[in-house]
């Protein structure tokens, strides 16, 4: 399966989705002008991955900041991951970033996927 690899910019996150090497990560800042457009390839990739996923998947979110339009798309990403067997979310937040910790907790209440919280 093709690797999705997007370099991070000042307003978009770094994204690596690599089935073969088992790397699934969204990190950095997310405040794109058009969040739906930006996350479309991610949702498409997950759609294909869901058809033949690895036995287990650790999907990493390591976000420094995201805007509200991105939060809706992050929920869409999580909803797309929800039906994939063996899925686990690793939600990283900076150790003094209570808002990011709380955001992760709220997402975990909105979808039926196990979340593991980690600080960096």
| Residues in binding contact with another protein, number by CB under 8 A | 23
- Element containing residue 117 per DSSP (H, E): strand 115-119
The one among 8, 11, 18, 108 contacting another protein by CB under 8 A: 11
> Of 33 and 52, which has the nearer Cβ to another protein?
33
Token pair of 108 as six digits: 């975990």
Give yes or no for residue 52 binding another protein (CB under 8 A): no
Q: How far is CA 22 from CA 18, 49, 57, 70, in A?
A: 6, 12, 7, 24
The one among 44, 110, 112, 118 contacting another protein by CB under 8 A: 110
Sheet holding 4-6, edge to edge: 4-6, 14-18, 23-30, 57-66, 87-93, 115-119
Chain CA centroid to CA 96, Å: 21
Q: Taking CB under 8 A as the rule, which mask of x and - marks residues 69-108 in contact with another protein?
A: x-xxx-x------------------x-xxxx------x--
- Element containing residue 116 per DSSP (H, E): strand 115-119
- Contacting range for another protein; rule: CB under 8 A; set: 18-26, 44-52, 62-70, 82-90: 62-70
Give yes or no for residue 16 binding another protein (CB under 8 A): no
Cα–Cα distance measured from residue 88 to residue 1, given in angstroms and rounded to the nearest whole number: 20
Contacting residues toward another protein, per CB under 8 A: 10-11, 31, 33-36, 65, 67-69, 71-73, 75, 94, 96-99, 106, 109-110
């Amino acid at each position: 399966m093709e690797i999705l690899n997007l370099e991070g910019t000042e307003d978009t996150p770094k994204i690596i989705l690599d089935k073969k090497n088992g790397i699934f990560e969204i990190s950095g800042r997310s405040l794109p002008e058009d969040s739906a457009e930006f996350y479309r390839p991610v949702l498409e990739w997950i759609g294909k991955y869901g058809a033949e996923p690895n036995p287990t998947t650790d999907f990493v979110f390591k976000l420094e900041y995201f805007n509200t339009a991105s939060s809706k798309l992050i929920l869409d990403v999580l909803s797309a991951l929800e039906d994939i067997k063996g899925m686990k979310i690793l939600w990283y937040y900076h150790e003094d970033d209570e808002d990011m910790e709380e955001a992760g907790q709220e997402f975990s209440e909105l979808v039926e996927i196990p979340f593991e919280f980690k600080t960096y």
